[in-house]
Amino acid sequence: MNKGIYCLVLKNTECSVTIGALGDAHFAAGWHCYIGSALGPGGFARVYRHWSLHKNHDKVPSWHIDYLLLNQDFHLKYVICGITSQKKECSLALVVDGTSIEGFGASDCSCKSHLFYRSSNPIDELKSAFQSIGLIPISKKSLPIGDDVRV
C-alpha cells in the first residue's frame, strides 16, 4: 500500500464556518489548499475518506478539514499526492505558506497551519512545491484514485 503526503484543493464561495475547537473562521471566495499526511497504516485510504466525506454531507466531522468537506460552500476539485515514506507534510506547508487559518490541521506539529488560501487555481504552484521537496506530484481531478495515477 502506497503512503505519502497529499494536498486537497477546494474551491469555495465567501463564507464563515465553525471549525470545532478553533471556532468561527471566515473564508474569502477562492481556493483553499489543505496539506495532509497519508503515512498511517491506511496510506492513501485517508484521501478516499476525505473524498467520500465530501460526497456524503451527513457525517460527523472528526478533523479540521472535515468541517470544510461537509460544508456546502466548499467543493473538492482535485488532489495532489506525493509518494514517500518520509514525514514531509510540514516541509510542504512551509513551501506553500501564505494566508491561512492559524492552527488548522496543525494540532500535532509546530506549523502555523496546514490550510492555505489562493485567489486563483494553485495547481502549477502546488506541483512546483511538491517538486521542491523532492516529490513527484501526482494529481487527480476525480476519485477514487485509479490505475492511471498509481497510488
DSSP character string of 76-119: EEEEEEEE-SS--HHHHHHHH-SSB-TTTT-TTSS-S-SEEEES
Quote the CA–CA distance of 33 and 82 in Å, as a whole number: 15
**Per-residue model confidence (pLDDT) at position 149:** 35
Is the separation of the CB atoms in 143 and 53 below 8 Å? no
Query: Residue 148: its pLDDT value, please?
Result: 35
Output the pLDDT for position 51. Answer: 84
Enter the pTM of the model: 0.91
Q: Which residues contact 148 (CB under 8 A, 6 or more apart)?
A: none
pLDDT of residue 59: 81
β-sheet with 115-118: strand ranges across = 115-118, 30-38, 4-12, 74-83, 138-140
Domain coordinates of the chain in residue numbers?
A: 4-140
Under 8 Å between Cβ of 80 and 7: yes
**Cα 35–chain centre separation:** 4
Question: Could you list the pLDDT tens digit for every one of the 151 residues in the chain?
Answer: 689 999 999 999 999 999 999 999 999 999 999 999 999 998 888 888 888 887 777 788 888 999 999 999 999 999 999 999 999 999 999 999 999 999 999 988 999 999 999 999 999 999 999 999 999 999 876 544 433 333 3
Beta-bridged to residue 33, according to DSSP, are 9, 116
Residue pair 96/47 in contact (Cβ under 8 Å)? The answer is no
Return the pLDDT at 145.
Answer: 42
Pairing status of strand 74-83 against strand 115-118: unpaired
Sign of CA dihedral 58, 42, 147, 124: positive
Query: Distance of CA 106 to CAs 14, 100, 111, Å?
Result: 23, 11, 6
